[in-house]
A and B are shown apart, each in its own frame.
Chain A
């Protein structure tokens, strides 16, 4: 099953590599001249061109490129002087930590909102939540971030200055995973944890608000569909005690796929259990239906995550967050293209892998998908 999915993911990855390669070749300027520096002679540039393989035909260059990729070599950044692979690896945890926190926040808000709106269609609450979610998608993500900074940093003084992942007076925890919250927990360093969490709150809220709207809308639509179906009517008519339906049937079954998803994609989100329990313990017959409404929501999560990966760039800029997005941006502005290319490639591969994971989870939630596959 997983093997088959892996095969299906291959064309996606090939496509990503081809496009990244073409983007790289279409970049303005001569990479050889970049590497040689401004003072280089014509011969020196020519020599570097041969060394980089730029004098060969496009197909040959592509083969060289793929060979380097297979060795994990993404080239060298001109601005930092480091191999791009190393730069990306050191910065990726910062981005992932932020993205995942945003996603969890979005789930925590959106699932109850969607369920609530679906159980009372046409009510004031439903309309309010429709307006709120539409407003949510309409908010330019960089603008939301700035508003939050203004209110919570400048006006109220609750949040720290939007400058990176940890304030200047706290030593970051020793690196294990690269995610400060986890590393601080491992090291048992409460001060570092608090400092890192403080920095994380505003950007995570910014991302979460953005991701909330599509999840809430999807949950509402899916719940509406399921609530109107026959088996819910049957469950209601059979007079199953809401508690029995909830705990014995729904909760155990419903928790499993959600936890699987969160566990697979975001290994550190065990805390999500609490969140999911809260969501599911809430609306009587509704949570019986929620399991069936989950499928489209899970599919959507992939899309939302893709948006978040993109939106990350903007949020990282607003909050001076030292992740891969801001790394690529700095490189882009300095016409340093190896990091940009590595960034695009990393993000796309992450996304393809995530979709793969979601496909697998999808099969786990819905046995019918498994049989068809």
Chain B
């Protein structure tokens, strides 16, 4: 553990960008937790007398077409956006990871079924498939999470399959078998934990893509409904005002979105450096 901490310190010290990304990530989590209580205004309170005001001292990020304070809405939205992407990534991690590990470990028809299903998902342009799923199952927040999870399953399934496949004949696996463990038990407690590190990296890179995907869906009018503050939908609301020069409505939620994704991507790169020295960027 101490060796790992030293290694982590070395990697972060070497790569200040990753350290910065980690700090940014902590700030995002903090905002998700305390966002609603530090927001200066009520994110839903409209004020007909103060519509479309550019950023000022009273409203740092300006106000939108209903006079709502954009800073407050961006802050409050952090929690929803993070929760959507975290849930989606956790879902696809659990589903894809277990299915893929089973496929790689047992082989045979398990492998064929899992591979066939992931190949079918990959045969769709993923955003289009997500659109189709949300359209079919109904336009709710839960289905946005589900659709985002489904389109990410193949990445985890393939990775877990490859990792489990490599380890299935390893010495420690044979030892576990000889000690009398059943197949499922060996898979769950001996093989799967060893597949986790590369999958964690994938999850971190995936978080950014999940946020983008969910925001994209709400941008086209699926999932989150107004007046709920969410970055994608706020950009969509601001889109109509860009051509008339009211840039602040779309800019700030868009920047928040970009910053979050940027942070997850850098963090993913950094994590990879940390646990897999061969693939250091």
Using Cβ atoms and an 8 Å threshold, which residues of chain B touch A311?
127
Known: A15-B123, A27-B135, A146-B239. A138 touches B250 (CB 8 A): no
Give B146 Cβ to nearest chain A Cβ, in Å: 12
Give the interface of A toward B (CB within 8 A): 11-13, 15-16, 18-20, 23-24, 26-28, 130-131, 134-135, 137-143, 146-147, 149-150, 153-154, 161-162, 306-307, 309-311, 313-314, 317-318, 328-329, 332-333, 337, 340-341, 343-344, 347-348, 351-352
Tell me if B96 counts as interface (CB < 8 A to partner A). no
- State the interface size on chain B (CB cutoff 8 A): 48
Chain B residue with Cβ nearest A9: B123
Q: 16 interchain pairs (CB within 8 A)?
A: A23-B135, A28-B138, A134-B269, A137-B208, A138-B208, A138-B261, A142-B216, A142-B235, A143-B257, A150-B247, A154-B245, A162-B243, A306-B126, A307-B126, A309-B125, A332-B135
Known: A15-B116, A317-B219, A344-B128. A23 touches B136 (CB 8 A): yes
Known: A140-B212, A150-B242. A347 touches B254 (CB 8 A): no
In-complex Cβ contact of B124 among A24, A27, A332, A351 (8 A): A351
Using Cβ atoms and an 8 Å threshold, which residues of chain A touch B135?
23, 27, 332, 337, 340
Contact with A along B121-147 (1 / 0, CB 8 A): 001111111111101111000000000
A293 to B138, CA, bound (A): 44
Give 7 nearest A-B pairs by CB, closest first.
Answer: A310-B127, A15-B120, A143-B254, A138-B262, A309-B125, A138-B261, A23-B136
Give A23 Cβ to nearest chain B Cβ, in Å: 4
Chain B residue with Cβ nearest A27: B136
A332 to B131, CA, bound (A): 9
Q: Is the CB of A352 within 8 A of B123?
A: yes
Using Cβ atoms and an 8 Å threshold, which residues of chain A touch B36?
none
Q: Is the CB of A329 within 8 A of B128?
A: no
Tell me if B221 counts as interface (CB < 8 A to partner A). yes
Q: Is the CB of A344 within 8 A of B235?
A: no
Chain B residue with Cβ nearest A310: B127
A160 to B251, CA, bound (A): 21
A334 to B268, CA, bound (A): 40
In-complex Cβ contact of B128 among A130, A147, A309, A318 (8 A): A309
Chain A residue with Cβ nearest B259: A138
Q: Is the CB of B242 within 8 A of A154?
A: yes
Q: Is the CB of B123 within 8 A of A146?
A: no
Give B198 Cβ to nearest chain A Cβ, in Å: 16
A20 to B133, CA, bound (A): 10
Q: Is the CB of A146 within 8 A of B269?
A: no
Give B268 Cβ to nearest chain A Cβ, in Å: 10
Using Cβ atoms and an 8 Å threshold, which residues of chain B touch A328?
131
